[in-house]
Amino acid sequence: MKKKQNFSTIYLDRLPIEEAAALFNLTVDDAILVRTEIGEIANAILMELEQLARAFRTQTNRSKKSKLTDKVTQERKTCVDIYAEIKKIVVFETSSRIALRKQSAADLKFFLKPNWSITRSPIGDQIDQTIKLMLLYRANPLLVNAAQTIGIDTLMNELEANNINLSTTFKTRELETGKQAPSGSELRYVVTDSYTRFCSVIEQAANYTPNPAILDLFVKIDMLRKRYHALHPKSKDKGALAAE
Helix (H) or strand (E) holding 231, with range, is none
pLDDT at site 241:
43
Q: Is the pLDDT of residue 236 over 60?
A: no
pLDDT at site 233:
57
Which of 162, 177, 192 delimits the end of a domain?
Answer: 177
Does a structural domain hold residue 78? yes
pLDDT at site 165:
96
DSSP string computed for 196-219: HHHHHHHHHHHHHS--HHHHHHHH
**Residue 75 shares a structural domain with residue 168:** yes
Q: Is the pLDDT of residue 105 over 50?
A: yes
- pLDDT greater at residue 95 or residue 17: 95
Does a structural domain hold residue 22? yes
What is the average pLDDT across 21-29? 94
Q: How far apart (Å, rounded) are the C-alpha atoms in residues 170 and 57?
A: 18
- pLDDT greater at residue 171 or residue 81: 81
pLDDT at site 234:
53
**Residue 154 shares a structural domain with residue 187:** no
Does a structural domain hold residue 193? yes
Task: For helices 69-93 and 141-150, give the axis angle rounded to 10 degrees.
Answer: 80
**Residue 186 shares a structural domain with residue 169:** no
Q: For the whole model, what pTM was predicted? A: 0.57
Q: How far apart (Å, rounded) are the C-alpha atoms in residues 83 and 91?
A: 12
Does a structural domain hold residue 244? no
Q: How far apart (Å, rounded) are the C-alpha atoms in residues 193 and 53?
A: 11
**Residue 31 shares a structural domain with residue 118:** no
**Residue 210 shares a structural domain with residue 128:** no
**Count of domains forming the chain:** 2
**Residue 188 shares a structural domain with residue 116:** no
**Residue 189 shares a structural domain with residue 171:** no
Does a structural domain hold residue 143? yes
DSSP string computed for 63-76: HHHSTTHHHHHHHH
**Residue 94 shares a structural domain with residue 152:** yes
**Residue 74 shares a structural domain with residue 171:** yes
Span 173-195, pLDDT tens digits: 877 765 545 555 668 889 999 99
Span 57-66, pLDDT tens digits: 888 777 666 6
**Residue 208 shares a structural domain with residue 165:** no
**Residue 102 shares a structural domain with residue 167:** yes
Which of 135, 152, 177 delimits the end of a domain?
Answer: 177
Range of the domain at 132: 69-177
pLDDT at site 121:
80
What is the average pLDDT across 118-128? 87
**Residue 162 shares a structural domain with residue 199:** no
Q: Phi and psi dihedrals of 121, rounded to 5?
A: -75, 160
CA dihedral 22, 23, 25, 29 (to 10 degrees): 120
